[in-house]
Amino acid sequence: MTDDVVRVRGLRKRYGGVDAVNGVDLGIRRGEVFGILGPNGAGKSTTVEILQGHRRRDSGEVTVLGQDPGSAGRRWRSRVGIVWQDQSAAAELTVAETVRHFARYYPRPRDPAEVIDLVGLTDKAGSRTKALSGGQRRRLDVALGVIGDPELLLLDEPTTGFDPVARRQFWSLIRSLADEGTTIVLTTHYLDEAEALTDRLAVIAAGKVVAEGEAGSLGGRAQAGATVHWAEPDGTARSERTDTPTRTVAELAGRFDGEIPRLRITRPTLEDTYLRLIGSEDK
């Protein structure tokens, strides 16, 4: 697609004897929130670092905002926001000083006070960065990633270490950036985060994309059969896998002549699907 902000074809990267990325293809569209999921060592960070232009690839085609990140210059860099796994902000500077300092690197930065407000750090604007909690520092990292008003924001495991409230606040921050038109690519280990936040996602395992799509339909999830669970009159739990759960429930309703004890219908969760895709489901 011509409107792809990120286009990756046949990407490979080898470290010593390890195929970290082994033929990855990706297409990420303008304005979408795209998630990259995968087990430890799958090649997610390596892929994102290549998109950022911070790691060289061995082979494959990579285009980010129309340019090759391996050779793009300063102007391209100013259009791409990066949230590092551990950004090193100078400990003695305050939050406001740090954000203002980073703003100077960009041709058209956002207003620092507005960005501090966007990440929920207004109360901490005058605090030294060394006095911030882990989650607050991560918010500062996000502020530094968006201060240049990027068209594309790349985040590697952005919510690791966040408490549940901070995570929800971060999700709404990402949504509001996406609503403003920023394309967002993030890696995560949290399946609920992928489900809540991403428009589409790719699952990477052993350096390859094993599935790509919307969370709701990933890996054939939407078409997967349902399981109907109920209990017999003697209390024995029963379950049946079926592609026609309505019919199964109707039959049970006839047999029980009324309420079906402990009736429940389940479908594969994103976690079930993910574990199947990476080959780690319970056998």
Ligand X SMILES: Nc1ncnc2c1ncn2[C@@H]1O[C@H](COP(=O)(O)OP(=O)(O)OP(=O)(O)O)[C@@H](O)[C@H]1O
Residue 57 binds ligand X (CB under 6 A) = no
Residue 38 binds ligand X (CB under 6 A) = yes
Which part of the chain contacts ligand X (CB under 6 A), choosing from 35-43, 56-64, 140-148, 165-173? 35-43
User: How many residues of this chain bind ligand X (CB under 6 A)?
Assistant: 11
Quote the CA–CA distance of 250 and 75 in Å, as a whole number: 63
Task: Tell me 221's DSSP state.
Answer: G
Report in angstroms how near the CB of residue 85 gets to ligand X at its nearest: 8
Residue 45 binds ligand X (CB under 6 A) = yes
Spatial neighbors of 63 by CB under 8 A, at least 6 apart, are: 4, 6, 7, 8
Which part of the chain contacts ligand X (CB under 6 A), choosing from 38-46, 126-134, 228-236, 256-264? 38-46
Report in angstroms how near the CB of residue 83 gets to ligand X at its nearest: 14
Could you tell me which of 131, 128, 183, 194 has the C-alpha nearest to residue 158? Answer: 194
Whose Cβ is closer to ligand X: residue 42's or residue 201's?
42
Whole-number CA gyration radius for the chain? 23
Quote the CA–CA distance of 187 and 243 in Å, as a whole number: 33
Report in angstroms how near the CB of residue 239 gets to ligand X at its nearest: 34
Site string for ligand X, 15-34 (x = CB under 6 A): x--x-x--------------
Report in angstroms how near the CB of residue 260 gets to ligand X at its nearest: 43
Query: Among 1, 2, 3, 40, which residue interacts with ligand X (rule: CB under 6 A)?
Result: 40
Whose Cβ is closer to ligand X: residue 44's or residue 139's?
44
Tell me how far apart the 2 most distant CA atoms of the chain are, in Å. 73
Is residue 200 a contact partner of residue 213, using CB atoms and an 8 Å limit? yes
Quote the CA–CA distance of 227 and 266 in Å, as a whole number: 5
Q: What angle do CA 156, 118, 93 make, to 5 degrees?
A: 75
Residue 253 binds ligand X (CB under 6 A) = no
Handedness of CA 168, 189, 209, 282 (dihedral sign): negative
Whose Cβ is closer to ligand X: residue 116's or residue 194's?
194
For ligand X, the binding residues (CB under 6 A) are 15, 18, 20, 38, 40-46
